[in-house]
Structure formats: structure tokens, C-alpha cells
Amino acid sequence: MNNVSEFGVTTFTLSAFSGMENLKSVYFCLFFFLYVVILVENMGLIGLILLQKSLHEPMYLLVCNLAVNGLYGSTTLLPVLLKLILSESHQVSLSGCLLQQFGVHTYAMVEFTILTAMSYDRYVAICRPLHYHLVMPLRKVYKIIAITWLVPFATFLAMFSRTASLRFCESVMERLYCLNYSMVRLSCTSTVLMNILGIVLLFVYTAPQILIILYTYGHIIKICVLSSKESRSKALRTCAPHLLTMINFSIGCFFEIAQSRLELSNLTFESRSFMSLYFLILPPILNPAIYGMSIQRVRVPLLRMLHGKRKTPQTP
């Protein structure tokens, strides 16, 4: 039974977990395995970039932060997910729900901002290669990295503070984790103003970054059209990891929006769960693989490190 005080609901039930009851052990093992893979991949990539001085350059430092954010987002979700799979009630406290939705939203916003910064980095590398280190000195990169973390957190705090002050009269969410939109819908008061605020903040936050991405890739495409076949091929190799990462993240965001805003009851539980969890699990798994395997300056030290560990010591 949910706890209700004079201040409203104090616990929420994530009813989507009821679909896991029959295969509880299988789902627990699957998500535990995925979490271990995320930890190993991202921590390995972070360690490699930090230890290899040759990788202390703008693009690799941004890739390192992408991996840090992948750890942040997956850790926001998966430990709680594993606990609730084994739980009988599938309940989360009000404070726990607020904390989780804060982590999920800021993860998505930081990811998008890092990808925007990476598009600018690729633009400078391709369109102004001779001035790359003048335009992107490390001190500027550190400022960009600080912005990619501080701005998303500061922006979402405006919405989060309003949600945290609401009184909730309903307690059941048909989800696997807490989201701001899902929580607001359960409040005792009208959500019209909150929805308007959310749309305004989303537009103000995403529109400038979308314009930056369109601007940078517009110039990159223009350079490629006017360049030789060899130069186009080099530019494609330079942009391919970022494009793949951005497409992967965009698919996850589309799935999440569809899952939250549309009626998808005709889909199976497995399909809805996959759509809901995609952007919190697939990017942290695929991003290290994309950058680790497609960029030679990351791939070669990584393979050398793994090869060195496999060697057995030879006696003189």
C-alpha cells in the first residue's frame, strides 16, 4: 500500500516492472551484465585517454567526457532498476524518484551538449585545419567542457525545483523509471503551466544547439563538395564516429518521446521496455566501441595495451 500523508503521496509504484515478474532472474542477469559492460568499456576508455598524453587533445577530451556522462546516466538508472526487479512492491520514495528523474534528464541534456561541442570541434578540424590548435587551445576546451556540464544542470534545476514543490495525489507510473513529465502528471494541481514551462525550456535549450550542429555540418558538407575525393574520404572518416553517436542518441530520444507521449499499448512489453531504456543503455555501450574501434589513435594504444597484458613474461 502506498504511503500518503497530509502533504500527498510519499512513494510511487513503477507498475511496468510487473511485466518482468515471470522472468525476474533473466532480466536481472541481463541488466547486470549490461551494467558491467558499460562500466568496463567507459572506464577503460577514460583511463586510456587520461594515461596517454598523446590523446590530451580537444576531440579525445570531449570523448572522455562522453564516457563520463555514459557512466553517470547508466548509474542513475541501472542499480535502482536491478533493485526494483527483485522487489515485490516496485516502489520508489518521493525523494528517490526526484533524484532519479534529475539524473536521467541531466544525463540526456549533457549528452546533447557534448555532441554539439564535438560537432564544432569537427567543423574546426575540417574547415580550418591549419588553425585548429589556435582556435581550439586546451584552455578553451576546458571552458567548453565546463559549459557542457554546468549549463544543463542549471537549466534543468529551473524545472526540477518546480516539480519538487508539487503535491502528488496519484502514485502509479506505468514506467520503469521516474521522469519529470510522468511525475507532473500525478500532481494534485493543473499541469498546464508546468507543461508550458517545460516546452519553453526545451526550446530555449535545444534550438541554439540544433542551429550550431546544422551550421557546422552545413559548412563541412560544403567543404566536402568542393574538395577532392581523397579529402572527402578523410572528412567522412573524421566525422563518422560523431555522426554515428549522434544518430544513436537521437534514436534513443525519439523512442523515449514516443514512449512518454504516445499511446503504445498495442506494443508488447518487451518492445515498450526496449524503447524506454534505449537512450540510457545503448549509447553508453556503443559510444566507447564506436570511438575505440574507429579512431586509430585510440584503437592502436588500446590494442597494444591488451596485447601487452596477454604476453607472458619471458625469462632471460
Q: Does some domain include residue 312?
A: no
Position 316 scores a pLDDT of 34
What's the domain range around 159? 11-300
**Pair 221, 212: CB distance under 8 Å:** no
> Is 33 a domain residue?
yes
Query: What's the pLDDT at 1?
Result: 45
CATH number for the domain spanning 225: value is 1.20.1070.10
pLDDT surpassing 80 at residue 313: no
Residue 69 lies in a domain: yes
Beta bridge partners of 92: 12
pTM of structure: 0.88
* Nearest by Cα to 63 from 14, 122, 7, 140: 122
Considering the domain boundaries, does residue 2 fall inside one?
no
Max Cα distance, the chain (Å): 79
Q: What is the mean pLDDT of the chain?
A: 85
How far is the CA of 310 from the CAs of 42, 43, 304, 306, 313, in angstroms?
21, 20, 10, 6, 9
In the block, which residue shows the cell 542477469?
Answer: 29
Is residue 192's pLDDT more than 50?
yes
pLDDT at residue 193, as a whole number: 81
> Does some domain include residue 310?
no
What is the structure's pLDDT at 80? Answer: 93
pLDDT at 268 over 50: yes
**pLDDT at residue 4 is higher than 60:** no
What residues contact 305, with CB distance under 8 A and at least 6 apart?
A: 48
Band of pLDDT at residue 209, cut at 50, 70 and 90: very high
> What's the pLDDT score for residue 315?
35
Q: Does position 272 have pLDDT exceeding 70, yes or no?
A: yes
What is the average pLDDT across 44-67?
Answer: 89
Q: What does each C-alpha distance from 224 to 128, 229, 230 come to in angstroms?
A: 13, 8, 10
Q: What percent of the chain has pLDDT over 90?
A: 42
Instruction: Residue count of the chain, please give it.
Output: 316
Q: What is the CA radius of gyration of the chain?
A: 22
When comparing pLDDT for 257 and 78, which is higher? Answer: 78
User: Per-residue pLDDT tens for 254-267?
Assistant: 888 887 777 777 77
Note whether residue 18 is domain-resident.
yes
The domain total for the chain is 1
The pLDDT of residue 140: 93
Predicted confidence (pLDDT) at residue 211 exceeds the cutoff of 90:
yes
Domain presence at residue 21: yes
Q: How confident is the model at residue 294 (pLDDT cuts 50, 70, 90)?
A: low
2 neighbors 89 (Cβ within 8 angstroms): no
**What band does 150 get if pLDDT is binned at 50, 70 and 90?**
very high
List the single range of 54-63, 252-261, 270-279, 289-298 with lowest mean pLDDT.
289-298
Mean pLDDT, range 81-101, rounded to an integer: 90
Look at residue 272 and tell me if it is in a domain: yes
Closest by CA to 175, choosing from 272, 93, 245, 87, is 272
